[in-house]
Amino acid sequence: MIRAYKVRLYPTKEQMVLIEKTIGCCRKMYNEMLNERKQAYEQLKDNREKLYHYKYRTPAQIKQEFSYMNEVDSQAFNWVQMNIKTAYTNFFKSVSGVRKGGKIGFPTFHKKQNFGAYTTQVISIFDNKHLKIQKLGKVKYSDKRTIVGKIKHATISKTPDDKYYCSILVENNNELPEKVQLNNNSKVIGLDMSLSNFYVDSFGNSPEYIKRYKSKEKKLIRLQKIESRRQKHSNRRKKLRKSINLINNYIKNQRLDFTHKLSRKLVEENDVIVVESLSLKNMSGSLKLGKSISDLGYGMFITQLQYKCDWYGKHLVIADKWFASSKICHICGHKYKDLTLKDRKWVCPNCGAQIDRDENAAINLKNLGMGYIHECMSSQNISSAVKHIECN
């Protein structure tokens, strides 16, 4: 199993300077490689065979032109070369339709910013307080978890609020646990997304949800207006930008803390979790709800549920996007086709039941999970019968 641990770094002033130099050199290396590929394409686009066999410069050859690159970690440049190859591969696969997901554009030049990241090697860990990083030496870090396993590589990043982090990729000998055996007593829960309550579950409950961005929106607008009137590249504008970045980072951390605790609680308490298949990007654009959906962080919450269900051996069921969870009456099964988005409560024309839209959708999702349990139980019985026949 491969896991990533993101820890906070506390580098010295000399180490900070070296980290920022490495980030800047990696940006320069990436832009040089991309520029060379663009020029080669413009010159050789009529001769595809020659373009295919064209030999691009290696990081070592580019370093010879820029002597200041010798000061930083050379392993970071190898990762830059891999990243640009990956960007090109993803673009051409996306254009040809081989790659799943949304369309990916052509690689663009990296801009100079006050933050960035680079990938290198962590040599070892000392007393759960220091990391020995290539070229940087010993760097103090803070994290309560014990990092166990073989270290593959690490990504060192600087955030807009001038904090440093290291994401360590670790490979250990542990395997993912087997999925829990399902039966009629297995706990199932259905979750229907709600912009006002985060979600409504099949029991009619919702978590204590606070709109993180909305609570700080007025303060951010005021600071951004002041920033727009400050002179560009001035120290006063930089200080104000740092204050804005601190608020945005606070919002992000609050949202992450909420979703991590909530997802872990759901995974520990239930055997099967059923959620909707939502295209949040399309919803935010078509329904003009981009700010509310981004503030919700529901996509990040589903991602956390997915890998935590794998860690704990639980089952996550994602309903088909065409499953009409809101339109189907959970009592009689009648599909009310005239239901609109504005209708939060409706009366079933078949059985006359008073139905709450969100709770009804969550119950339908739970019923879908019950069907999943019966399918798993029948497949388990078939497999056990096959084993019994083989033994005989």
Q: What residues act catalytically? A: 192, 276, 358
Q: Buried (b) or exposed (e) across 12-41, using 16+ Cβ within 10 A?
A: eeebbebbbebbbbbbbbbbbbbeebeeee
Least Cα distance to 62 among 41, 44, 78 occurs for 78
Task: Give the C-alpha separation, 77 to 245, whole Å.
Answer: 29
Answer yes or no: are the C-beta atoms of 114 and 16 closer than 8 Å: no
Give ∠ CA 338-344-345 in degrees, rounded to 5: 80
Distance CA 244, CA 227 (A): 9
Residue 142, beta-bridge partner list? 8
Nearest residue to 186 via CA among 376, 4, 388: 376
Give yes or no for a contact between 326 and 361, defined as CB atoms under 8 angstroms apart. Answer: yes
Strands of the 116-120 sheet, one edge to the other: 116-120, 150-158, 164-171, 2-10, 137-142, 130-133, 122-126
Q: Residue length, the chain? A: 392
Task: Please list, in sequence order, all residues whose beta carbon lies within 8 angstroms of the beta carbon of residue 364, skipping any fewer than 6 positions away.
Answer: 190, 323, 325, 326, 328, 330
**For residue 268, what are its two tokens?**
């520990």
Nearest to 89 by CA among 107, 111, 102, 110: 107
- How big is the CA angle at 300 (ends 294 and 303), to the nearest 5 degrees? 155
> In whole angstroms, what is the distance from residue 214 CA to residue 295 CA?
8
Which phi and psi (to 5°) does residue 39 adopt?
-65, -40
